[in-house]
Amino acid sequence: MNLDGKGKYDVSTGIKFLNHMLELFSKHSLIDLDLKAKGDVDVDDHHTVEDVGIVIGKCVDKALSDKAGINRYGVAFVPMDDSLARCVIDLSGRGYCVFNGEFSRAKVNDLSTEMIEHFFKSVAENLKANVHIELLYGKNNHHRSEAIFKSFALALREAVSLNPRITGIQSTKGKL
């Protein structure tokens, strides 16, 4: 993973729709992502999705080091045809996820829609970030998912970006 990348990716999780979501996450966040996961997808997608979320969260957290000079906060609204999603992130050092989004089908291709929320909860906890995601509206489950992942990508890109006006940590406490 390279936070200062160009959005290049090589993703293989054994879950085709998760691959698609991670590829567009990489492209829109401009975070280079080389991710290979092998899990028990013959049983179901739970462990692989959870483990990928954990690893992404830990990698971003490690790459940010002491978080000096970064914006810390990010917000994005993303439309995807009929759908609109919002994501707000605070790289606060405290992991918490609020996810408000419903799906009308149990799966999109080979990804259980219930695992989308679980993915973001795993990322937030391991990134030690407040992640608030809301699907404002939408009908098509593929579009709903894509709007959510893209809004997360753009909000994260903003939050991790260096800001030349920020000296040290963006906190009155001096640490996150």
Residue ranges per structural domain of the chain? 9-160
Tens digits of residue pLDDT in 126-135:
999 999 999 9
Low-confidence ranges of the chain (pLDDT < 50): none
3-state DSSP assignment of residue 12 = strand
Per-residue tokens: 109: 């291709």
Closest to 18 measured CA to CA, from 102, 118, 96:
118
Return the pLDDT at 174: 79
pLDDT of residue 67: 95
Written out in words, the top-level CATH class of the domain with range 9-160 is alpha beta
Answer whether 32's CB lies under 8 Å from 60's CB.
Answer: no
In this predicted structure, what is the pLDDT of residue 175? 80
- Give pLDDT, residue 165: 96
Closest CA to 14 of 54, 45, 50: 45
